[in-house]
Amino acid sequence: MTREQFRPDDHENEHFLLTTVVGSYPKPKWLHRARDLFEDEDSKFDAEDFEEAKDDAARLITQEHERCGLDVVCDGEMRRNEMVEYFAHRIDGYEFNGPVKVWGHNYFDKPSVVDEVEYEEEWLVSEYEFTSDVATQPVKVPITGPYTLAKWSFNEVYDDEAELAYELAELVNEEIEALVDAGARYIQIDEPALATTPDDHAIVGECLDRIVADIPEEVRLGLHVCYGDYSRIYPEILEYPVHEFDIELCNGGYEQLDVFKEPTFSKDLAMGVVDIHAREIETVEEIKENIKKALEIVPPERLTVSPDCGVKLLPREVAYGKMENMVKAAREIEAELDAGEIDIEPPAPSADD
């Protein structure tokens, strides 16, 4: 069990629903202004000033997570501009040529792989060290997975995306080893691209085999896959060598809940219980109902409670309100479970589980 190490010493209930976030959080407005100043050639605001601004933001948001009462926190990805670009800038073999269209007037600085990819400088170790120094709670590290890094890049070098993804998986493995050496015990691999091309689940599986090689058993590994047609990757993903799946079900009104009931869900489940696309803050009661839906899939000791996805597109006060209510809801469900007031049986494991 990798999960129990995250139970706070002063946890008030017998039951423990691990509360955490997926990763990104709205950046303070002044951090955007600091970036603009840093990028403005006429400004005296230099790299050192911008680093200090990012440190301040990381400190602020880590503490904001703790004020919400979350059991496992992160820095809200204050240092990252985008989930592929950030990593591509740190990997040898990538270059940037300019923005490309995603839809309408929304663009993405899609990088090109123009040479063999190699591990150059650390990606997240200093981010982790800073955050864990600031935090009193354990820190989770979200990291973009190799399939998404490959799929959302131009590939000028490798025969196909799979080959590029496997090479990148080796680099992700190297980074996770460094994170573990630095003390990280909870790593979440983000693979949003799998949601859009679910037929590639075997490639993601092979990537994960490479990623987990030589990672100590006590390190908790999660996989986050954003909203998509989960029936096309389930139950195949149960074969993946990770402890926990983090999925986005709230946005779809839990229509896909039943997908995970047959065959029995054999991993830990991190389920989205607040919608990151809706600006209304869900009430504690509403979130409690959502948590009860998760209990139809896994027992409480295998449940993690989180938002559907990163919350960076929400106004900051809304993001805060959602996290705060989410933690309250989890604590109330725990107390009700302790008191025997909740009677939900997850499906019994079938004979071949």
Partner 1 sequence: MTEIVSTTPGLYPLPDWAKEDLKTLKGNQKEDLISGDEGPEIQSAYEEVRTEFIDAQKAASLDRIVEGQGRWDDMIAHPLVVHDDVETRGIVRYYDNNNFYREPVVNDELSATGDVAAELSAGAEQVDDGLQAVLPGPYSLADLATDEYYDDSEEFLAAIADFLAEEADQLPAVETLFLLEPSLVENAPEEGEDERASEALDTVANAIDADVVAYPYWGALEEKVYAHVMDADIDALGFDLVSNHDENVYNAQEYGTPDDVALGVVDGQNTLVESPETITERVEWFSEQTQQNDYERIYATTNTETFYLPVNRFEEKLEALGAVQKAEVKA
Token pair of 338, please?
Answer: 């302790």
* Least distance between partner 1 and beta carbon 123 (Å): 22
| H or E stretch covering 322 | helix 316-338
User: Which one of the spans 38-46, 93-101, 138-146, 217-225 is the region binding partner 1 (CB under 8 A)?
Assistant: 93-101
Q: CB-side exposure of 131: number of CA atoms within 13 Å?
A: 32
Is residue 105 classed exposed, middle or buried when 0-12, 13-18 and 19+ CB atoms within 10 A define those classes? exposed
Is residue 103 part of the contact set for partner 1 (CB under 8 A)?
yes
Token pair of 223, please?
Answer: 């996989």
Is residue 232 part of the contact set for partner 1 (CB under 8 A)?
no
Q: Which is nearer to partner 1, 99 or 349 (CB)?
A: 99
DSSP string, 259-306: GGTSS---SEEEEE-S-SS--SPPPHHHHHHHHHHHTTTS-GGGEEEE
* Least distance between partner 1 and beta carbon 110 (Å): 7
* Least distance between partner 1 and beta carbon 54 (Å): 25
Size of the site for partner 1 (CB under 8 A): 22
Among 14, 40, 100, 136, binds partner 1 (CB under 8 A): 100
Is residue 253 part of the contact set for partner 1 (CB under 8 A)?
no
User: Which one of the spans 50-58, 110-118, 251-259, 264-272 is the region binding partner 1 (CB under 8 A)?
Assistant: 110-118
Is residue 201 part of the contact set for partner 1 (CB under 8 A)?
no
Among 101, 261, 277, 279, binds partner 1 (CB under 8 A): 101
Strand partners, 244: 222, 268
Closest Cα to residue 267, out of 321, 322, 304, 228?
A: 304
User: Which one of the spans 20-28, 91-99, 182-190, 269-277 is the region binding partner 1 (CB under 8 A)?
Assistant: 91-99
> CA–CA separation, 346 vs 269, rounded Å?
12
* Least distance between partner 1 and beta carbon 315 (Å): 16
Alpha-carbon dihedral sign for residues 90, 95, 98, 104: negative
Q: Which is nearer to partner 1, 198 or 307 (CB)?
A: 198
Q: What string marks each residue from 151 to 190 as x (binds partner 1 by CB under 8 A) or -?
A: xx-xxx----------------------------------
Calculate the CA dihedral of residues 161, 163, 164, 165 and round it to 10 degrees: 80
Pairing of strands 111-119, 91-96: antiparallel
- Rule CB under 8 A: which residues touch partner 1? 97-107, 110, 112, 114, 151-152, 154-156, 193, 196-197
